Amino acid sequence: MNDKKIIKKVSSSFVTMTELVLPNHTNQLGNLLGGQLMHWIDICAAISAAKHSQRVCVTASVDRIDFLHPIKLGNVVTLLSSVNRAFNTSVEVGVKVFAETPIDGKKFHSNTAYLTFVGIDKDNNPVKTFEIQPESEDEIRRYEQALERRQRRLKTRHVSN
């Protein structure tokens, strides 16, 4: 058995996903449905988690999704995700969402989200994941903040049980 510890870079989990807001994605006001955006966020984050863990990953929790600005019909939505921190069997993934009006090229940050995923084996059991090494100042900041969010999640989970 090979006991060599594998440490991966944050950059190996980067995902960029692009979507076009169509009429079936909007509410009566012509805004992107929150549930549709959450679906896209979950997919984008799951791909980052899978790239890092090299496993099928399932959503364990959604820490928060901040809705900063509405996204309109016809906007191009770009989701950027990467693993912020790896724990034992779980990883926290951060997702930033940008919307752009293709006619005038105006681009704005519309949403931020944090999700936790667990890699599983063929029997749906959690599996230990790889460690991660943040490199840039931004990656180090997100790495440190991920631990704080995890501690809050665990604390509230124990309180609600």
Q: 117 near 63, Cβ under 8 Å?
A: no
- Compute and round to an integer the Cα radius of gyration of the chain: 17
Q: Categorize the per-residue pLDDT at 112 as very low, low, confident or very high, splitting at 50, 70 and 90.
A: very high
pTM assigned to the model: 0.91
Residue of 15, 79, 89 whose CA lies nearest to 48: 15
- Domain 7-160: give its CATH architecture: Roll (3.10)
Mean pLDDT of 111-132: 96
Q: How far apart are CA 107 and CA 116, in angstroms?
A: 27
pLDDT computed for residue 106 by the predictor: 96
Chain mean position to CA 42? 7
Q: Categorize the per-residue pLDDT at 2 as very low, low, confident or very high, splitting at 50, 70 and 90.
A: very low
pLDDT computed for residue 160 by the predictor: 56
Q: How far apart are CA 79 and CA 97, in angstroms?
A: 5
Q: How far apart are CA 57 and CA 31, in angstroms?
A: 30
